[in-house]
Structure 1
Amino acid sequence: MGSACSRKRDQLVNEDDIRRGISGKFSKNLSSRWLGSSMNRTSIDIHQEIGKVPSLMELCIRKICEEIKGYKSFSILPRDLSQQIFNELVNSQGLNDVSLEAFQDCALQDVFLGDYPGVKDSWIRTIASQGPSLLSVDISGSDVTDSGLSLLMECVNLQSLNCNYCDHISDLGLAYLSGLTNLTSLSFKKNNSITAPGMEAFAALINLRNLDLERCSRIHGGLVHLKGLTRLEYLNIGWCNCITNADMMPLSGLTNLRELQISRSKVTDAGIACLRGMSKLYVLNIEGCPVTGACLETLSGLGALSYLNLNACGISDGGCEKFAGLVNLKFLNLGFNNITDTCLVHLKGLTKLEMLNLDSCKIGDEGLNNLEGHVQLKRLELSDTEVGNNGLRHLSVLRNLESINLSFTQITDSGLRRLSGLTSLKSLNLDTRQITDAGLAALTGLTGLTHLDLFGARISDIGTSCLRYFKNLESLELCGGLITDDALKNIKDLTSLRLLNLSQNCNLTDKALESISGLTALVSLNVSNSRVTNAGLHHLKPLKNLKSLSLEACKVTASELKKLQMTALPNLVNYRPE
């Protein structure tokens, strides 16, 4: 059970699917992340997947990119054509120092090179040559320095600039931006060189609507320079542990703010009080801040508030009666707080809720009685609570539920029958040792499921026969350790699967890889801690879409995995062992 718990904590760090409910990790080395997730496939590949014939234009662009070495300049082409060629080179990772030169003075409007390898100051010279035509630039994760940033000063119409994870940009670089008064969006995530004095440059950017300074660790005192940016609608200073109550006061006049991220800062109830008057505030994330239920006195007056993240704030039942005033809430994250069933009484009137997170709270069966009127609820997180079978009877009326997490609860097989009527369910997490084959059999009517997590459940080969009913599954985790190669015959027809986790099943052999070789939609496969060997790797060759492959603690060598990638799986960018 210990390993399962560790897995859960890792997931919590990386979740970022509901309006930054929990911020993810960041690192400077992002080439794998770019290749694995940010890199889009070409438009031609996409058309082929859905059965459409590529257009003549698309074929021409592909041909040009394949023969890019033969072209010295695209400046005589219409701008939209040059833009499409540029985008295709980026998507196919064909842009380099030489091919970039062909785009000098092409009047490109958008340059998206976020996390693209090799971007440096010399590249900015070509980018800046687009002049007044240039509207948006993303050089996140690059090695661009202050000198490179200075080259953009002539791009006076620039509206959006993303410089996330750019370690070599400092206050000096910010000063070069002060003349770009048409900027409406600016992002410098995880920059430890930007300081409060350097933020004075932001004061001139009067048209800014979006500013992202997440994980900038030295900006305490610098928010005073934002006082005049009255058009700001989005501000992210989350995970800046230098931010205190004193930094909140200059924000009190930004009454057009619609989204504010201050998670993992040192802001307390007193700092939250500075938000009074922000009548348009729609999204507020104060996850991990040392606030108490007293902050709800202020928040209850923010009538437009629709999203509220109070995850891991240490809130208890005291002050929770103020939740009753937040009648427009659609998303509420109360995970990892000290609230009990008493708090849920005050949520009874929040009938617009679509997402409610009670992860690791002291919630039991009786508290769920207060959720019966939440008919619009689509996502419910009950992981690590004291909820058992009796509590599920209160959820059986929530016919619009699409996702429910019951991992690490007291739920057993008999309780799962109460979920059988929730036909809208698409995602179900049953990471708990009490679930067996019988419990899975009770769910066979939920044919719309696309995600099923049985990580810790005790499902055997016999139980996997129930998986045949879930034809729409895109993600399946089956890691209880009881299945053998025979179980895979019940999975091989789930052709929509994109993620398959079979780790911790020590009885699986090379024959398992042969059984799943027809699941060609797979993007991620984990068969760690099994008996798979190098000899079985050839069964994976048909899985051309595979990007992530984990075979830790198997008799597989890094050299054979590398050979497999180079000869058969060109999209594979994350594989273990390494």
Structure 2
Amino acid sequence: MIVSESYQGNSLMGSICSCKRDHYADENITRRGFSTRYFKLGSSKWLESSLFLPGPFCQLQRRSCPSLMELCIRKICEDIDKYRSFSILPRDISQLIFNHLVDSCSLSDNCIEAFRDCALHDMCMGECTRVNDKWLDVISSQGSSLLSAYISSTEVTDFGLSLLRNCSNLQALGLDCCDKISAHGIKHITGLTNLESLTIRSCKCIMDSDLKPFAGLVNLKELQISCNDITNVGVSYLRDLDKLVVLNLEGSDVTASCLDYLTALTSLKSLNLNRCHLTDDGCEKFSALSNLKELNLGFNNITDTCLGHLKGLTKLEGLYLDSCRISNDGLAHLAGLSNLKALELSDTEVGSNGILQFSGLTKLEDLNLSFTSVTDSGLTKLSGLTSLRSLNLDTRQITDSGLAILTSLTGLTHLDLFGAQITDSGTKYLTYFRSLQSLDLCGGRLTDAGVKNIKDLSSLMLLNLSQNLKLTDTALEFLSGLTSLVSLNVSNSRITNEGLQHLKPLKNLRSLYLEFCGVTACEIKKLQATALPNLARYRPNQ
């Protein structure tokens, strides 16, 4: 029997801003770097597959009728303040309770203690920023059972990190944006020799010398340690990590000379040098990394010359060049990269003529052409890329005519037309994309009539219609049948409190953004309490 105390209700609260980049936080998919398998933490059984599937997607995979176990877990979480300890429950049950609290943003100081000595395998804290050293004490109490922990943007200090020495079997550890951890605390990690995945992104304390002990983490397969103070010297300490598959140095002060130390890493498949200090000088060294499958060079001062040194990387499946000085001519070097599945060209000098070079990229699934000079006429060159699943055309030159040209791409699951000039008339072409799961249409030209053409896209999970000032409550009525929706953004519109009633059928909705509308937080809370129990994030929230 679970030991209980007096009951106090918990509210499912969360917040996220309604701008475009946070809209994609719900999707929990990183499209401008490596695939999600490299950005999530998990125990070894997940390391070779998709790790920690986002809560909303796990939920949508469930049966329409919840199992008895699911109902029990939900009830326990609703009454969480009744319970002092779950340690005598089977570990799998305790894990499910913990995961549900994380997914619903309900993990708190009051309930974390109940998980002491539960021998949990995975403690991924999600978006919880309340984690402190007291929580680390509970996490470390899992002892040798703990296989993964993810703690980001929290108040954890060096002392808290030292407690993890009891977790000798820890395989995956995430400490992103933990500003109270210093180099002294990082030294405690070096004793965790079973680590396979370690992320310490955006921590201000890491310097070159702090990476020297990492040479002892011989089982590392993934290392993400982006920090401004890391230079080529720091990278030199990593050259003997021969099991390393993923290396993320985003934002570090490295140059192409660091590649001298990476050529020995024959297992390396993914390399992220986004926002480093790369120029064309030294880029010829990329040709030695022949086993690379994913390469991120975004936001560097490289040109078409650099692309000439990549043409031999025939195993590449993902290439990210956003905000580089790449032109149409440079894309000719990509013609032989027939295995490419993802290509990021956002905010480059690429135009419609550059798309001519894509004809041989028949495996391309993800293409980002946002903020380029591509026009409607150039899109005709995409019609043969029938493998495309994700297409970003966030650019003002794209109109209804361009959308009409794309109708042969019936396999699209993600379509971003955020700033495109799509009108009500153009939305009729959306009916060709029956598999769409994510759609952005924020060019400001839609009315309720245009939304009517979206109502039959039953696979939609994320829909962003913000900035369309003419949308009214009728738009929500049209969307009421999209029961797979997880995230809906209709900010900057004429939606009112009265229109919220149309959202009641959207039982899977977890995020709702209605900022700068005639909607109040009070009415959203009422909707959450009576009809949308899974709603965890909403704006306005006060």
TM-score normalised according to structure 1 size: 0.77
| CA spacing shift, 1:223–1:527, aligned 2, 3 Å | closer
Match of 1:444 in 2: 407
Instruction: Report the Cα distance in structure 2 between the residues aligned to 1:167 and 1:150, rounded to whole angstroms.
Output: 14
Shift of 1:100: 4.7
User: For residues 138-190 of structure 1, what are the alpha-carbon distances to aligned partners after superposition, in whole Å with 9 as ceiling and x for unaligned?
Assistant: 28448676567667887654333637259675555555554x3x6311xxxxx
1:481-560 paired onto structure 2 within 5 Å: 481-560=444-523
Shift of 1:489: 2.5
Of structures 1 and 2, the larger Rg is shown by 1
Q: Partner letter of residue 91 of structure 2?
A: L
Q: Partner letter of residue 162 of structure 1?
A: A
- From 140, 149, 160, give the equivalent of 2:147: 160
Secondary structure in 2 matching 1:275: coil
Structure 1 residue 183 corresponds to structure 2 residue 146: no
- From 96, 121, 131, give the equivalent of 2:80: 96
Shift of 1:15: 6.6
Structure 1 residue 213 corresponds to structure 2 residue 197: no
Instruction: Report the Cα distance in structure 2 between the residues aligned to 1:330 and 1:41, rounded to whole angstroms.
Output: 28
Q: Is the 8 A contact 1:393 1:418 kept in 2?
A: yes
Match of 2:265 in 1: 302
- From 247, 268, 273, give the equivalent of 2:236: 273
Secondary structure in 2 matching 1:369: helix
Structure 1 residue 352 corresponds to structure 2 residue 315: yes
Secondary structure in 1 matching 2:488: strand
| CA spacing shift, 1:168–1:345, aligned 2, 3 Å | closer
| CA spacing shift, 1:292–1:111, aligned 2, 3 Å | same
Match of 1:569 in 2: 532
Match of 2:282 in 1: 319
Instruction: Report the Cα distance in structure 2 between the residues aligned to 1:535 and 1:150, rounded to whole angstroms.
Output: 47
Instruction: Report the Cα distance in structure 1 between the residues aligned to 2:140 and 2:524, rounded to whole angstroms.
Output: 47
Structure 1 residue 48 corresponds to structure 2 residue 31: no
Secondary structure in 1 matching 2:409: coil
Instruction: Report the Cα distance in structure 1 between the residues aligned to 2:130 and 2:198, rounded to whole angstroms.
Output: 25
| CA spacing shift, 1:294–1:11, aligned 2, 3 Å | farther
Secondary structure in 1 matching 2:401: helix
- From 85, 91, 94, give the equivalent of 1:108: 91
Instruction: Report the Cα distance in structure 2 between the residues aligned to 1:444 and 1:266, rounded to whole angstroms.
Output: 48
Shift of 1:372: 0.9
Instruction: Report the Cα distance in structure 2 between the residues aligned to 1:230 and 1:286, rounded to whole angstroms.
Output: 21
Q: Is the 8 A contact 1:510 1:533 kept in 2?
A: yes
Q: Partner letter of residue 262 of structure 2?
A: L
Match of 1:138 in 2: 123
The structure with higher relative contact order (CA 8 Å, sep 6+) is 2
| CA spacing shift, 1:384–1:536, aligned 2, 3 Å | same
Q: Is the 8 A contact 1:267 1:289 kept in 2?
A: yes
Q: Is the 8 A contact 2:168 2:194 kept in 1?
A: no
Q: Partner letter of residue 94 of structure 1?
A: E
- From 220, 223, 227, give the equivalent of 1:264: 227
Greater CA deviation, 276-285 or 315-324?
A: 276-285
- From 183, 196, 199, give the equivalent of 1:236: 199
Structure 1 residue 335 corresponds to structure 2 residue 295: no
Instruction: Report the Cα distance in structure 2 between the residues aligned to 1:298 and 1:377, rounded to whole angstroms.
Output: 26
Match of 1:117 in 2: 106
Instruction: Report the Cα distance in structure 2 between the residues aligned to 1:152 and 1:164, rounded to whole angstroms.
Output: 10
Q: Is the 8 A contact 2:389 2:414 kept in 1?
A: yes
| CA spacing shift, 1:12–1:332, aligned 2, 3 Å | farther
| CA spacing shift, 1:120–1:552, aligned 2, 3 Å | closer
Structure 2 segments unaligned to the other structure (5+ residues): 1-17, 41-52
User: What is the aligned-residue identity percentage?
Assistant: 51
- From 413, 430, 448, give the equivalent of 2:376: 413
Q: Partner letter of residue 477 of structure 1?
A: D
Shift of 1:471: 0.8
Secondary structure in 1 matching 2:247: strand
Shift of 1:12: 9.7
Secondary structure in 1 matching 2:372: coil
Instruction: Report the Cα distance in structure 2 between the residues aligned to 1:522 and 1:161, rounded to whole angstroms.
Output: 30
Greater CA deviation, 353-362 or 252-261?
A: 252-261
| CA spacing shift, 1:365–1:167, aligned 2, 3 Å | closer
| CA spacing shift, 1:183–1:368, aligned 2, 3 Å | same
Shift of 1:120: 4.0
Instruction: Report the Cα distance in structure 1 between the residues aligned to 2:265 and 2:293, rounded to whole angstroms.
Output: 14
Instruction: Report the Cα distance in structure 2 between the residues aligned to 1:486 and 1:97, rounded to whole angstroms.
Output: 48
RMSD value, Cα: 3.3
User: For residues 358-407 of structure 1, what are the alpha-carbon distances to aligned partners after superposition, in whole Å with 9 as ceiling and x for unaligned?
Assistant: 00000000100011111111111100000001100001221111110100
Structure 1 segments unaligned to the other structure (5+ residues): 1-5, 25-35, 66-87, 186-208
Secondary structure in 2 matching 1:529: coil
Secondary structure in 2 matching 1:490: coil
| CA spacing shift, 1:122–1:381, aligned 2, 3 Å | closer
| CA spacing shift, 1:306–1:546, aligned 2, 3 Å | same
Q: Is the 8 A contact 1:121 1:143 kept in 2?
A: no
Q: Is the 8 A contact 1:117 1:142 kept in 2?
A: no
Shift of 1:229: 5.1
Instruction: Report the Cα distance in structure 1 between the residues aligned to 2:121 and 2:174, rounded to whole angstroms.
Output: 15
| CA spacing shift, 1:142–1:423, aligned 2, 3 Å | closer
Instruction: Report the Cα distance in structure 1 between the residues aligned to 2:382 and 2:20, rounded to whole angstroms.
Output: 23
Shift of 1:249: 2.0
User: For residues 424-454 of structure 1, what are the alpha-carbon distances to aligned partners after superposition, in whole Å with 9 as ceiling and x for unaligned?
Assistant: 1111111000011111111100000111111
| CA spacing shift, 1:469–1:12, aligned 2, 3 Å | closer
User: For residues 474-493 of structure 1, what are the alpha-carbon distances to aligned partners after superposition, in whole Å with 9 as ceiling and x for unaligned?
Assistant: 11111111122221232111
Match of 2:438 in 1: 475
Greater CA deviation, 356-365 or 477-486?
A: 477-486
Secondary structure in 2 matching 1:48: coil
Shift of 1:222: 4.9
Instruction: Report the Cα distance in structure 1 between the residues aligned to 2:371 and 2:140, rounded to whole angstroms.
Output: 55
Instruction: Name the count of aligned residue pairs.
Output: 499
Q: Partner letter of residue 551 of structure 1?
A: L
Match of 2:12 in 1: none
Shift of 1:237: 2.6
Q: Is the 8 A contact 1:97 1:123 kept in 2?
A: no
